[in-house]
Amino acid sequence: MASTGQLHISNLFSLQGHVCLVTGGGTGIGLMATQALAANGAKVYITGRRKEVLENAARTHSPQSSNTSLNGEIIPIGPCDVTSKESLEKLTAELESKEKYLSLVVAAAGVSGPKGYPDTSDAKQMKDNLWREQVEEWKATYNTNVISVFFSVVSFLPLLQRAPRNLDASVIVISSMSGLMRHSQAHFAYNAAKAATAHLSRMMSKEFAKTGVRVNSIAPGYFPSEMTMKQSDERNKAHMPAEKVKDKGHEVPAGRAGSDEEMAMGVIFLTKCGYVNGEVLKLDGGVMNEVGGG
């Protein structure tokens, strides 16, 4: 039975002692997750393909709190190509040489894939629009958004199992609301891959539970990132104006993009709440209430 004081937010959501790895941690949602974890006391390793991006993220976004006992760290490691088992093995060995355990892996690396527009009732025109997509583009999208997630999590399972029991070791897979809806959004390859990502996280939650590792997923809606906005600024950040969100072909009830703070809340909740496993948490501003899925 908890006392009232034990339920203070500083006790519920402190990440002291947590050692985390974020793939795709230098930009976008991966960077949002990294900031949230480090701000609350975690040591966070970030990896990705571009060493200079990782170094800039760590240099720019490491915690600056005056309370040094609560400060976490952001540490670049790698670089790592998560689509390569050899690269993942090398990264795992490097982490094992530095740390006794990981308590969290955030699989945030992803690509957007090709676009093909089905916005016509003429079958021949629709075929022409979609036939331009390349098989290799589909394979690359699936490889990064699904296959690499599986092998990334599997590679780090032993490190996760070594985490102290009180840290509730877990994985957070970044999927997408796009994988939950029937609209293609002109992204058949991406949406199909993200549907697979979300279901993969559910399967891993079931099968990996015997190791003591939880697996959950966040399915974001419209959040500003290098992938969605095609660029980042000098802080590795992107901006999504409200008018961009309103031009999506469907209602976005929140009327705006999601914020770094809102992503942080989702990440910290799934990291800390050991009673949640197999969840796909929609952070979508209410979009799925409007477009449905199934």
Residues catalogued as catalytic:
175, 190, 194
d(CA 36, CA 259): 12
- Distance set, CA 243 to CA 83, 247, 284 (Å): 35, 6, 16
Sequence length of the chain is 294
- The β-bridge partners of 107 are 23, 173
φ, ψ for residue 67, nearest 5 deg: -90, 90
φ, ψ for residue 44, nearest 5 deg: -120, 115
Dihedral angle sign, alpha carbons of residues 140, 197, 212, 49: positive
Radius of gyration over alpha carbons of the chain, in Å? 19
Q: How many CB atoms lie within 10 A of CB 123?
A: 8
**Sequence-distant (≥ 6) Cβ neighbours of residue 6 within 8 angstroms:** none
d(CA 225, CA 218): 15
Question: Is the CB of residue 34 less than 8 Å from the CB of residue 63?
Answer: no
Long-range CB contacts for residues 230-236, cutoff 8 Å, separation at least 24: 232/27, 232/28, 234/56, 234/60, 235/56, 235/60, 235/61, 236/26, 236/27, 236/31, 236/53, 236/56, 236/57, 236/60, 236/61
